[in-house]
C-alpha cells in the first residue's frame, strides 16, 4: 500500500477530514487530524447538513458509521415551506411529502453539524485528533513536510491533506488559482434558544426549513436540535459590499437598521430576527473556483472539500462533495493500482475536479435562480416539477 510506513497529516477537522481519518485509521494507517479548535466542545455554527445517497451517505456506510448516523440524524428536518415577503405560505410539504427512507435515492436525511462531528470524533482513537493546532505554515522536509502551528508546536508528515475549508491556508502550496465572486452575499444569523427568542419564526419553521423569497432577495430558515434557528439572508451585491456597506456586523442594531431599510417592503414580522441578544451574525460573500481549474499534482500534498472546490451553499452539496472526496482519496491511496503517490494523487485530483466542476455549475445556476427577480415563481415551478 502506498501509505505503508508513512505519517499522514490532515489539516482541519470538518466532516471531510474526519471521515477520511476514520477510513484510513481502519486500514491501520498512521494518521492524525490537526484541528484549530481548542477542544471538541466548541459550538458548531451553520445550518444542518443533508447527506445524499451517492456521496455523503455512501461515505458514512463505507466508514462503518451508518448505525451511528441513524441515531443522530433528525427525521422530518428535510420538510420545507416556501413563503413570500408577507409570510404567506405558498408551498408546504409538511403534510404532503412522501415517506422516504434509507436506500431511497431521493432521501436526504438531515443531521446537525455538531452531532455529525461528535460521532466522527468518537470513531477515532483519542490521540488521532490534535486540538488547538491552528496551522500557520509548512516547509519541505526530506520527502515530506514540517508543519508549524500557532501554539508553537510542530509536526512532521510524509503526506499532508488540506481539509481546512473555504479560506484554506494550505491551498497556496498547491496552486495560485483564485476564487471567483458569485455575485451574491449572505448574512448568516444564529438565534439561540429560538423558541423563546424568536417564537413566531420558530413555529413557522416547525423543525424543518423555510424559504422566504421574492424580488431577488432570499431568507432561508432552518432549525437545529439544540434549539438554534439558523438564518441565511441572501442578495446580489458587488464583491466588496461587506466592507463598503458601512454596516457594523458585530453590532446587532447596525445590522437590524440595515435590514429594516433593505427589506422595507417585507412583513415587519421578519424583524423578530433581531429582538434577542442571544444571536451571532456573520457576513458570507459567496465564492467559487473556476470550472476548469487544474494544477500539477504533488506526491506529498493534496486537498479536499471547500479548500479544493468551494461553492455557494444553495444546493447542499458542499459537505457531500467533501465526503465524496474523502472516500475516493481513501480508495485510491489504499489500492494497489498506482506505482507511486504522484500518479495516485494526479488520478484523484482529476476525478475530483471533474465531479465538482459539474456540481459547481449546477450550484451557480441555482444560486442565480434563487436571486433572480422572479425567484419565487422559479422555485415554485421547480418543486412542482420534482413532486
Instruction: Record the cell numbers describing residue 178, joined without a space.
Output: 483564485
User: Quick one: CA torsion of 358, 360, 364, 366, rounded to 10 degrees?
Assistant: 70
Of 52, 58, 49, 61, the residue nearest 14 (C-alpha): 49
Residue 372 annotated in ligand binding:
no
C-alpha span between 322 and 85 (Å, rounded) = 34
C-alpha span between 358 and 192 (Å, rounded) = 36
C-alpha span between 213 and 85 (Å, rounded) = 6
C-alpha span between 229 and 194 (Å, rounded) = 6
C-alpha span between 81 and 210 (Å, rounded) = 5
Residue 108 annotated in ligand binding:
no
Helix runs in 305-340, H state only: 306-309, 318-333
The residue length of the chain stands at 387
Residue 37 annotated in ligand binding:
no
Residue 85 annotated in ligand binding:
no
Of 249, 232, 10, the residue nearest 121 (C-alpha): 10
The CA distances from residue 172 to 139, 175, 204, 327, 386, in Å, are 13, 5, 44, 24, 41
The CA distances from residue 104 to 170, 317, 354, in Å, are 37, 18, 25
Instruction: Record the cell numbers describing residue 375, joined without a space.
Output: 425567484
Question: Residue holding cell 408546504?
Answer: 92
The CA distances from residue 283 to 10, 103, 113, 183, 280, in Å, are 28, 37, 19, 14, 10
C-alpha span between 367 and 183 (Å, rounded) = 9
**What residues contact residue 341 under an 8 Å CB cut-off, 6+ apart?**
2, 159, 299, 300
The binding site for FAD consists of 50, 113, 306
The binding site for NADPH consists of 43
Amino acid at each position: 500500500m502506498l501509505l505503508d510506513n508513512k505519517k499522514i497529516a490532515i489539516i482541519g477537522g470538518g466532516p471531510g477530514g474526519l471521515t477520511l481519518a476514520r477510513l484510513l485509521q481502519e486500514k491501520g494507517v498512521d494518521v492524525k487530524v490537526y484541528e484549530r479548535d481548542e477542544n471538541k466542545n466548541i459550538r458548531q455554527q451553520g445550518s444542518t447538513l443533508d447527506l445524499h445517497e451517492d456521496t455523503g451517505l455512501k461515505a458514512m456506510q463505507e466508514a462503518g458509521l451508518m448505525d451511528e448516523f441513524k441515531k443522530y440524524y433528525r427525521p422530518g428536518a428535510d420538510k420545507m415551506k416556501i413563503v413570500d415577503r408577507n409570510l404567506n405560505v405558498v408551498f408546504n410539504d409538511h403534510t404532503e411529502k412522501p415517506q422516504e427512507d434509507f436506500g431511497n435515492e431521493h432521501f436526504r436525511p438531515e443531521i446537525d453539524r455538531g452531532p455529525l462531528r461528535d460521532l466522527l470524533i468518537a470513531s477515532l482513537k483519542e490521540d488521532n485528533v490534535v486540538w488547538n493546532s491552528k496551522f500557520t505554515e509548512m516547509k519541505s522536509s526530506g520527502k515530506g513536510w514540517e508543519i508549524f502551528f500557532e501554539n508553537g508546536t510542530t509536526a512532521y508528515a510524509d503526506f499532508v491533506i488540506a481539509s481546512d475549508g473555504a479560506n484554506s491556508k494550505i491551498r497556496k502550496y498547491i496552486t495560485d488559482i483564485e476564487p471567483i465572486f458569485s455575485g451574491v452575499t449572505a448574512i448568516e444569523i444564529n438565534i439561540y434558544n429560538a423558541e423563546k427568542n424568536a417564537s413566531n419564526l420558530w413555529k413557522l419553521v416547525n423543525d424543518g426549513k423555510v424559504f422566504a423569497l421574492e424580488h431577488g432577495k432570499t431568507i432561508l430558515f432552518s432549525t437545529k436540535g439544540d434549539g438554534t434557528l439558523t438564518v441565511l439572508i441572501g442578495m446580489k451585491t458587488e464583491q466588496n459590499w461587506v466592507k463598503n456597506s458601512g454596516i457594523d456586523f458585530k453590532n446587532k442594531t447596525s445590522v437590524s437598521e440595515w435590514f429594516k431599510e433593505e427589506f422595507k417592503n417585507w412583513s415587519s414580522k421578519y424583524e423578530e430576527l433581531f429582538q434577542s441578544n442571544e444571536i451571532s451574525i456573520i457576513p458570507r460573500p459567496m465564492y467559487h473556483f473556476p470550472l476548469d481549474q487544474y494544477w500539477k499534482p504533488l506526491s506529498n500534498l493534496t486537498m479536499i472539500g471547500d479548500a479544493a472546490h468551494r461553492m455557494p451553499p444553495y444546493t447542499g452539496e458542499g459537505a457531500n462533495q467533501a465526503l465524496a472526496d474523502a472516500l475516493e482519496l481513501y480508495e485510491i491511496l489504499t489500492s494497489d493500482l498506482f506505482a507511486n503517490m504522484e500518479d495516485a494523487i494526479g488520478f484523484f485530483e482529476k476525478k475530483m475536479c471533474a465531479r465538482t466542476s459539474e456540481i459547481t455549475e449546477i450550484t451557480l445556476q441555482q444560486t442565480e435562480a434563487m436571486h433572480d427577480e422572479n425567484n419565487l415563481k422559479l422555485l415554485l415551478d421547480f418543486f412542482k416539477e420534482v413532486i
